[in-house]
């Protein structure tokens, strides 16, 4: 798959992991995924082929083979390599096919700083062109004492030329076209 829409929470930029992103620029990053629910084994052996199907925003239906699993992270090949930070579930062993609903976002840096340097870690950094950026516009509401979330009744997005994570607290969608990779990360310091 050459085009993806990936999530970017402003805290990832605020932590110094990346600078702000702008439309029309080339960037490099790995992709992290978070299962919406535990991924079951993919039970159709005659149709085992990696796939990634966009559903909405940065949510995808995926089918992939586990290609790497360690105590604190694991990798799924969906036609593009995506990793999940944290202990793999019992069914996530190399060679196993899994499928389900996931969120895909920019690596908040666990892959780049830690996982990529472990023995046997797959190369997962892809080069991308950012073709469009959308920012969430819904207002924050207090859902629990001192816990704020976007108002689900007033959700919206607007296109922006670049992220402004230091002044906008929320999330973005980056529309990306893959132009290269995967490759191992190059040593660099944070921006």
pLDDT for 114: 93
> Domain residues for 69?
3-183
CA distance 97 to 16: 35
- Could you tell me if 2 and 180 are in contact, meaning their C-beta atoms sit under 8 angstroms apart? no
CB 75 within 8 A of CB 101: no
The domain tally of the chain equals 1
Q: Where are the alpha helices (DSSP H) in 50-116?
A: 110-113
| Measured distance CA(188)–CA(185) in Å, rounded | 9
Residue 191 lies in a domain: no
> Can you point out the beta strands (E) in 51-156?
51-56, 59-70, 73-77, 81-85, 97-106, 125-136, 140-144, 147-150
Q: Tell me the pLDDT of the chain (191 aa) as tens digits.
A: 579 999 999 999 999 989 999 999 999 999 999 998 878 877 655 567 899 999 999 999 999 999 999 999 999 999 999 999 999 999 999 999 999 999 999 999 999 999 999 999 999 999 999 999 999 887 778 888 878 777 778 888 999 999 999 888 778 999 999 999 899 987 544 55
pLDDT digits (tens, 9 = 90+) for 87-120: 999 999 999 999 999 999 999 999 999 999 999 9
C-beta of residue 47 within 8 angstroms of C-beta of residue 112 = no
Tell me what pLDDT residue 170 has.
75
Element (H or E) spanning 11, and its range? helix 10-14
The verdict on residue 190 lying in a domain is no
Q: Is residue 188 part of a domain?
A: no
Residue that has been written with the tokens 């944070």 in this structure: 190
Looking at residue 47, its pLDDT comes to: 62
pLDDT of residue 144: 86
The verdict on residue 63 lying in a domain is yes
């Amino acid at each position: 798959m050459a085009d993806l829409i990936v999530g970017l929470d402003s805290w990832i930029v605020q932590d110094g992991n990346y600078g702000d992103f702008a439309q029309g620029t080339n960037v490099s990053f790995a992709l992290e995924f978070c299962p919406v629910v535990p991924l079951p084994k993919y039970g159709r052996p005659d149709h085992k082929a990696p796939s990634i199907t966009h559903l909405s925003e940065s949510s995808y239906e995926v089918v992939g083979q586990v290609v790497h699993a360690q105590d604190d992270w694991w990798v799924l090949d969906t036609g593009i390599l995506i990793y999940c930070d944290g202990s793999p579930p019992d069914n996530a062993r190399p060679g196993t096919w899994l499928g389900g609903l996931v969120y895909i976002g920019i690596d908040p840096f666990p892959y780049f700083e830690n996982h990529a340097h472990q023995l046997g870690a797959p190369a997962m950094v892809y080069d991308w062109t950012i073709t469009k950026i959308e920012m969430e516009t819904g207002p924050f509401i207090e859902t629990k004492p001192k816990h704020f979330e976007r108002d689900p009744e007033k959700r919206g997005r607007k296109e922006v030329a670049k992220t402004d994570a230091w002044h906008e607290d929320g999330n973005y969608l980056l529309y990306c076209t893959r132009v290269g990779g995967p490759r191992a990360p190059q040593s660099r310091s944070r921006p």
